[in-house]
Amino acid sequence: MTATLSSNTRPNASFNIDNSHLKSLTRIDIPSRLLLGPGPSNADPAVLEAMDRQPIGHLDPAYLALMDEVQELMRYVWQTSNRMTLPVSGTGSAAMEATLANSIEPGDKILVCINGYFGHRLVDMAERYGAEVSSIKRDWGEVFTLDELRKAMETHRPQILALVHAETSTGARQPLEGVGDLCREFDCLLLLDTVTSLGGVPLFLDKWGVDLAYSCSQKGLSCPPGSSPFTMSDRALEKLSNRKSKVANWYLDMSLLANYWGKGRTYHHTAPVNMTYAIREALRLLADEGLESSWNRHQATAEYLWDNLEEMGLSCHVPKEYRLPTLTTVRIPEGVDGKAVTTKLVQEHNMELGGGLGELGGKVWRVGLMGYNSRKENVDKFIKAFKQVLSEV
């Protein structure tokens, strides 16, 4: 019996969209760049090799074993024993939103400390979940003191305190000693942005009393973007379990995801299998190097960069005491077109340098030396090209 198409399903040969120009497209060809901006960083070749495998089912026993390994590795790199530790299927902003979606109910008070672009993003997200948001501010590139945080806590009495540990827009590292104890004194959860610090900057979530944290795959972990570390302490899980309303974001609801990443292995969504291969290998490489060795490498490479910049007569935006080793903001000299410099570096040297963001737009360049890219030979390549471009603009 021959199947025939009905008039409702028969293809119409008269297309409204002309695709003739699409037939001339060749296979994808991506230029090779040295990525020294705020992220992504270049992926480790071993990570790309791991990623370049056929996917398997997201409930395959081999994949479930990989999930366990990823969780264990994430606990190590964050120095936490949190059982709710997993990679969110999405970029770092998805993990960022997951911390707020799961910890906020309408009317909850949250205090956000703003000293850069990503503090503002936390405010925007928190407001969308119905939080009563308060904030304290410092100039972009500065950090908050423990006394300032205490006064703000006494004034606002929040249920959540949100801090950016590594502010990607400024290159500043927020000190955390004593902040967790302060939050417990005020019965408050501590939420931390570690997007630009995980893997390259000392992090001790349990020791510091951090309750919620998020990061990304494409910076210190040297993995393509798309699989983002997320963790919740038992204190945060207790707040989640006592909610009066459902988490307002189904995709990021940890009470549902726990059944997939926990013992139940209940289907929730189709996990990005190849990204799990990639982040598992990235985390394995970091564990193989050792956290302390990685932190020391990032610090040594950054100081080598800072010395070279000083020899060129350039200054960094953040005082050395609070400067991130993963990302350096360099002040653009008066009379220099910062955008022209970044453009020439890409076009003539296949090298990415970041421009300023938000209030620092046009005022600084952002140099990222993260993960696989944090090597002195990359600093040498950058300085050589940077000097040449500066002499030409």
Average pLDDT over residues 189-206: 98
pLDDT confidence tier of residue 20, bands split at 50, 70 and 90: confident
pTM comes to: 0.93
Residue 17 lies in a domain: no
In sequence order, the β-bridge partners of residue 35 are 352
327 beta partners: 368
334 shares its domain with 236? no
State the number of CA atoms in the 13 A half-sphere of 285 facing the CB: 22
pLDDT band at residue 190 using 50, 70 and 90 as cut-offs:
very high
Q: How many helices (H) and strands (E) does the chain have?
A: 13, 13
Note whether 118 and 257 are within 8 A (CB).
no
**Are both 309 and 254 inside the same structural domain?**
no
- Residue 364 reports pLDDT greater than 70: yes
Domain coverage including residue 254: 45-288
Which residues have CB under 8 Å from 380's CB, separation 6+? none
Q: How confident is the model at residue 345, as a pLDDT?
A: 97
CB 110 within 8 A of CB 126: yes
Q: What are phi and psi of 289, to 5 degrees?
A: -70, -40
Interatomic CA distance for residues 148 and 352, integer angstroms: 37
pLDDT of residue 393: 87
Cβ atoms of 86 and 92 closer than 8 Å: no
Tokens of 132: 């009563």
| Number of folded domains that form the chain | 2
pLDDT at 228 over 70: yes
CATH number (domain holding residue 248)? 3.40.640.10
Q: Give the tens place of pLDDT for each residue, 38-48.
A: 999 999 999 99
What the block records as the tokens of 347 is 């076009």
What is the amino acid identity at position 207? K
| Residues 303 and 161 grouped into a single domain | no
Which pLDDT tens digit goes with each residue over 368-387? 999 999 999 999 999 999 99
pLDDT-derived band of residue 251, with 50, 70 and 90 as boundaries? very high
Average pLDDT of the residues of the chain? 95
**Domain end among 272, 288, 304:** 288
Model pLDDT, residue 21: 84
Evaluate whether residue 283 is within a structural domain. yes
Report the SS3 class of residue 251.
coil
CA-based Rg of the chain, rounded to a whole angstrom?
23
Predicted local confidence at residue 14, as pLDDT: 65
What mean pLDDT comes out for the span 258-280? Answer: 93
**Do the domain assignments include residue 18?**
no
Assess contact for 171 and 302: CB atoms under 8 A. no
Which has the closest alpha carbon to 232: 221, 224, 223, 241?
Answer: 241
138 known ligand binder: no
**Structure confidence at residue 114 as a pLDDT band (50, 70, 90):** very high
Looking at the fold, whether 276 and 315 belong to one and the same domain comes out as: no
237, 253, 288 - which closes a domain:
288
Considering the domain architecture, whether residues 274 and 299 belong to the same structural domain is answered as: no
The pLDDT score that the predictor gives to residue 10 is 54
Q: Which residues contact 163 (CB under 8 A, 6 or more apart)?
A: 113, 144, 174, 176, 179, 190, 191, 192, 193
